[in-house]
Homo-oligomer: A and B are copies of this chain.
Amino acid sequence: MDILSPQQLIARLEWRYATKDFDPQQKISSKVWDKIEESLVLTPSSFGLQPWKFISVTDQSTKESLLEHSWHQRQVTDCSHMVVLCAKDNMTPADVDAWLDQLCKVRNVSRDTLEGYAGMMTGFFAKMSAEEISAWSKNQVYIALGQLMAAAAVIGVDACPMEGIVADEYNRLLGLEGSGFSTSVGCAMGYRSMDDKYAELPKVRYDHDHVIKNC
């Protein structure tokens, strides 16, 4: 079997939780981690433009330096891989071109055939303010966060999404200043400690009819 049944999917999503205590001894193997990175690369995005960078921090001293800018949440240092999801600050016609070059390379098509598509994309961004473009990028990064957490759950890896991080300090410590990318959100990944009492608490979700409407 190479897919999950819908019931198995739900079991995986019930299994996952925002892990508070990672077992610092348990590292994600490189074999598993390589596939998690591959899943990040495969994340869908608007127009396919991938306005992001993903930084995977495993160096312990770097993780320690991030701790004080993470409300001292020990997930940062105890996890196996601390992923920092970064959004592109701006989108220029050159960025659209770079993606179209990649498209031409991957699909072996001529750039000439894509003028209409190029114009649509550059027109889309031309109408937006810098703030709107940055918000759009950040939204895409949250798609990556959502897929990453779901992907981790279905393969049995624990994760903790972390919005409570000081983006400017992360940018500085990770060398992002001037790169055109900024920290949006973190995701600590690894394996839960057997002592994490949060693992067994029932999830607090609104009732089905509170969040879902059918029409």
Contact = CB atoms under 8 A, between A and B. Distances in A.
Copies in the complex: 2
A166 interface: no
A3 B155 contact: yes
Interface residues of A, number: 79
Interface string A125-145: 000000000010011101111
A180 to B, nearest CB: 13
Nearest to A55: B213
DSSP class of A's interface residues: helix, strand, loop or mixed? helix
A193 interface: no
Interface string A97-118: 0010011001100000000000
Given A4-B154, A147-B150, 13 more contacts: A3-B8, A5-B155, A48-B204, A50-B205, A53-B213, A54-B211, A102-B206, A106-B202, A135-B135, A142-B143, A143-B145, A143-B146, A145-B146
